[in-house]
Structure 1
Amino acid sequence: MADQIFQGQEHPFQKSDYIAPEDPLVEANLERWQDLKFGLMMHWGLYSQLGIVESWGLCSEDQPFQDRGGMPYTEYKKMYFELISEFNPQNFDPAPWARAARYAGMKYMIFTTKHHDGFSMFDTKQTDFKITSPRSPFHTNPKANVAGEIFRKFAEEGFINGVYFSKPDWHHPCYWSPLWATPNRCNNYDTRKYPQMWKEFCNFTYNQIEELMTGYGKIDILWLDGGWVRPNSTINDEVRSWGYDIPQWEQDIDMASIVKMARAHQPDLIVVDRTVQGPYENYRTPEQTVPNEVLGFPWESCITMTQSWGHNFAPEYKSSRFLIHTLVNVTAKGGNLLLNVAPTPDGTFEQEAYDRLSEIGDWMAINGEAIYNSRPEEPYKRDDIYYTQNRRTGDIYAIGLLNEDDSMPNEVHLRILKNIEVANVSLLGTSKPLRSCKENGGISVEIPAELRDERQFKYAWAIKLQTA
């Protein structure tokens, strides 16, 4: 069982200065996004056919999570890029994905339109390395424009849509030029010596993002990965801690122009230029980890349902209990949870993924009130009980986590730090008011035996304190 938060291929999360957006439309959309709390991410591309950690096998850095099976690098790279002629997800249909995610209680979705390998899962006009290319056997399928199909179906289910887009592109000859070796994840030539080459890559990036901002309906989030593509002036200790050499030359793709263009098409667009602290990182994204404390800015933990972002041929699914507990932990600290599910090479979700989404949805149908629209409430955690407050109603919720052998207690002691007047106390999923009384440092609540249904409350329970 993969019930753990593990360190991913990127970087440990660290606190840093946060610059809030000044545009009132973006500010309002960011506030709305914070209310949603739970989202779906999907990593899907050529790498799914190999069952590997996305496209990282193309990178020459010595990293423990990549394995080329002893294949020489140049041979591996050639093999990988030729996967375009094999990727043929004939069973692709995003409608059941969207329905399952909606039942799970998810409210927004981020899809990988392009990972670092440069393979576009949308019908771009900037390159032929794409799912709709004649080189792809899937290009004649009516659903060949995969990103378009996904965004459309999720919008029909009421989701807000987000675009994952990799700033580096290891296939583009003006990022990794075939004239030189590729020692690491960065571009492999001095942009000071070859400014026109870098300008061509910047224009390519700009044009691809504009296609995504104009041809795919309402887009609420531009989620940019590849934080090493950034101005040198933004390189800080966090970047240096990632453990690879930063080149002396600039990798500045002119985010100001990209964001100006993107918001001209999508005025309230939330931009997430991951790890590049500043005005274009509207929220932060700790990866495969949950911060230890409440943070003073918007954030989202992006976490996988299995041990990897992309499809794995021997997946280890995290338990529903663990995923629900993680959602509670993240929410109580003021964050959102973005849970990744990896489609298979043939374009389906595995049954275990559907099972997890269904079990989470069963719990959320009863307890989602304690999750949505919430903000941290002191003390956000005490004695395995997590606290949230609905920012609209002012009601406070106490969420108690239950381990596999636990049963719901007959009396709960809530450590509410502030003085509040409580009009009613209830257990979510029931209608009977609970007896309660104030005590030193909080409120004591009695749970009658007839309400302690172990089937209904096997993962966690939530008590609502309706304020007067």
Structure 2
Amino acid sequence: MSLPKVALALGLLGALGTAPARAQQQGIHQQSTEYEAPTDPLVVQKLDKWRDQKFGLILHWGLYAVPGIIESWSICSEDWIERDSTIAYEDYKKRYWGYSQVFNPVKFNPEQWASVAKQAGMRYLVFTTKHHDGFNMFDTKQSDFKITNGPFKNDPRANVAKYVFDAFRKQNFMIGAYFSKPDWHSQDFWWSKYATPNRNVNYDIKKYPWRWKHYQDFTYNQLSELMHDYGTMDILWLDGGWVRPRETVNAEVRAWGAPIPEFSQDVNMPRIAAMARQAQPGLLMVDRTVHGPYENYQTPEQKVPDQPLANPWESCLTLANNWGYVPNDVYKSPTKIIHSLVEVVAKGGSLLLGVGPRPDGTLDQEAVTRLLAIGKWLDMNGAAIYNTRATPRFRDGATYFTQGKQGTRYAIACLPENQPTPTTLTWTGNLPRKGSKLTLLQTGKAVPWTRQGDQVRLTLPATLAKQAGAYPALAFAFVAE
């Protein structure tokens, strides 16, 4: 994944300074503006199933959890990244690679992660099998730089990706494998013959095509392992959108501000997709930001689009400020996440929420507490979220609207945080059918309502107002005109 919305921050056990404000967008993947719908019937079917899930979990876990810093980016030499000026860059990279010899998650408990995610109301998983730093969280045969080659190697669960996928599969999650197309540890991507000036391949592919062919095969072979040896997969979630065919680099990509080389960094997606879908029929491919047949849904990062999108999409947001675990990180409130979920779903998307496990393999208790609070709200109000689609008029002020596949309309009123629940609510548009019942999902009971022109006015039970902030949002079901 890319940079959190706040700047680089949190530096290497105090060694990194705070990045300048302009760095805030440098690592973030902007969404594609073009979309090509899939035609494979199995992919179309799975995409519709995925759109029903609405709420997913992305787990960033790797070497960066050991010092508790931003994922991977500190080893990239671009001018928006700050490091301790007393440490030479090559020495810093060696120190970072060295975390592989101390990463020992002795409390690794994927069943607990899956249980918390289930209670949070999440329904699909994306797990980082490898981030840009090239450290593999699965037992790949293509590299020795992996979790099964360090102090955790003798643990019966050393092949952590396998056990993460199994644990979430047992909780009926759709399963997604995150995989970084760039691999900064590979000699076929960052060749030690040359300096590593930025996130791209550090040699001229036109001059050394054989080396890039090695890298294409390396990528293909690793993905083949994931597609063949780790159970049923629903999503292949490919990050690192700057690694792409040269012909797909358009004005939109140039606007990111990332350096763009004069050669193509094509990993041969047609070959990868053919292999992956033969192993996993109907697999959703998410080649992020590379518009075309291998980006089955779009992935705006650390933002919610201003308007509904007609294409399948998910907003990738973090529960705290960072994708991975960072000590003393600042978590968003359950109410804020619930409001984001409501807005995303009303605009036709899904929410993929980022949480970073600690280096010992546990989830931070503060994250767990917030996730369970979100799940408590979804237990009562999930009908307005799951299996819904956007309505033509998706919003009126702080009230959002969704529609179930059987035609039930939902109004979800997002309430101010830590404020008493109001005794009345109004919205304009999305009118209930005259004489019909309007049900408050929180209680399962009908509430009185009246209509004046294009406005609906509800009278809420006085008991709701007794505890300020108890209800992040109130959802209502009705039959629309």
**d(CA) in 1 for partners of 2:434 and 2:221?**
56
Residue number among 195, 220, 223 corresponding to 1:206 in the alignment = 220
Report matched runs for 1:74-223 at 5 Å.
74-133=90-149, 136-223=150-237
Q: Is the contact made by 1:271 and 1:280 (CA closer than 8 Å) also made in structure 2?
A: yes
Task: After superposition, give the CA deviation of every residue in 1:391-434 in whole Å (9 maximum; x if it has no partner).
Answer: x2211111111123433332222322478567321101213222
SS of the equivalent of 1:423 reads coil
1:410 matched to 2:427? The reply is no
| Structure 2 Cα separation of the partners of residues 300 and 28 of structure 1 | 17
Q: How does 1:324-335 map to 2 (within 5 A)?
A: 324-335=338-349
Report if the CA contact (8 A) 2:200-2:243 is conserved: yes
The 2-side partners of 1:411 and 1:83 are apart by: 56
Deviating beyond 3 angstroms after TM superposition, the runs of 4 or more aligned structure 1 residues are 4-9, 11-15, 66-70, 417-423, 450-457
**Residue among 384, 395, 413 paired with 2:398:** 384
The equivalent residue for 1:439 is 452
Superposed CA offset, 1:119-176 (max 9, x none): 110011111111112xx01000011001001000000111111000000001111111
Deviation at 1:5? 6.0
Q: 2:31·2:298 contact (CA, 8 Å) conserved in 1?
A: no
1:256–1:420 Cα change, 3 Å: farther
Moved more, 105-114 or 457-466: 457-466
Unaligned stretches of 5+ residues in structure 2: 7-23
What are the Cα deviations for residues 445-467 of structure 1, in whole angstroms up to 9, with x where unaligned? 22232455547842111111145
Q: Is the 8 A contact 1:398 1:463 kept in 2?
A: yes
> For 2:103 and 2:84, how far apart are their aligned partners in 1?
19
- Cα distance change on mapping 1:422 and 1:326 into 2, 3 Å: farther
Q: Which moved more, 1:416-425 or 1:356-365?
A: 416-425
Distance 2:438 2:373 in 1: 26
* Cα distance change, pair 193–424 in 1 and its aligned pair in 2 (3 A): same
Residue 400 (str. 1) matches residue 400 (str. 2): no
Q: Could you tell me the percent identity over the aligned residues?
A: 48
Answer yes or no: is the 8 Å Cα contact 2:236–2:286 preserved in 1: yes
Residue 93 of structure 2 aligns with an amino acid whose one-letter code is: K
Post-superposition Cα deviations, 1:39-94, rounded to whole Å, max 9, x if no partner, equal 00110001111111111111111124x53464210001111112111111101111
Which of 230, 235, 243 is 1:229 aligned to?
243
- Inter-partner Cα distance in structure 1 for 2:414 and 2:39: 38
CA-to-partner distance for each residue in 1:237-260, whole Å, 9 max, x for gaps? 221122132111111111011001
Q: 1:313 to 1:143 in 2, by over 3 A?
A: same
CA RMSD of superposed structures (Å)? 1.8
Name the counterpart of 2:68: 51
Comparing 84-93 with 11-20, greater Cα deviation is found at 11-20
Q: Deviations over 1:201-229 (max 9, x none)?
A: 00000000010001111100000001111
Q: Does structure 1 retain, via aligned residues, the 8 Å contact 2:29–2:241?
A: no
Deviations 1:374-395 (A, max 9, x none): 11123212121111111x2211
TM-score (norm 1): 0.95
Q: Which amino acid is 2:384 matched to? A: A
Cross-structure match for 1:30: 47
> Partner residue of 2:474?
461
TM-score for the superposition, normalised by structure 2: 0.92
Answer whether contact 1:10 1:287 (CA < 8 A) is retained. Answer: no
Contact 2:345 2:389 (C-alpha < 8 Å) held by counterparts: yes
1:429 is aligned to 442
TM-fit CA distance, 1:26? 0.3
SS at match of 1:323: helix
- Residue correspondence of structure 1 range 316-327 to structure 2 within 5 A: 316-327=330-341
SS at match of 1:424: coil
1:8 is displaced (CA, Å) by 5.2
1: distance between equivalents of 2:335 and 2:327?
23
Contact 2:26 2:256 in 1 (8 A): no
The structural deviation recorded for 1:268 is 0.8
SS at match of 1:147: helix
Residue 388 of structure 2 aligns with which residue?
A: 374
1:442 shift after superposition: 3.7
Quick check: 1:8–1:287 contact (8 Å CA) kept in 2?
no
Task: Structure 1: give runs of 5+ residues left out of the alignment.
Answer: none
Of residues 428-437 and 75-84 in structure 1, the stretch that sits farther from structure 2 once superposed is: 428-437
Equivalenced residue count is 461
Task: Give me the whole-angstrom Cα distance separating, in 2, the residues matched to 1:329 and 1:221.
Answer: 24
Structure 2 CA distance, aligned partners of 1:10 and 1:60?
A: 13
CA offset digits 1:246-285 (Å, max 9, x no partner)? 1111111110110010000001100000111111111111
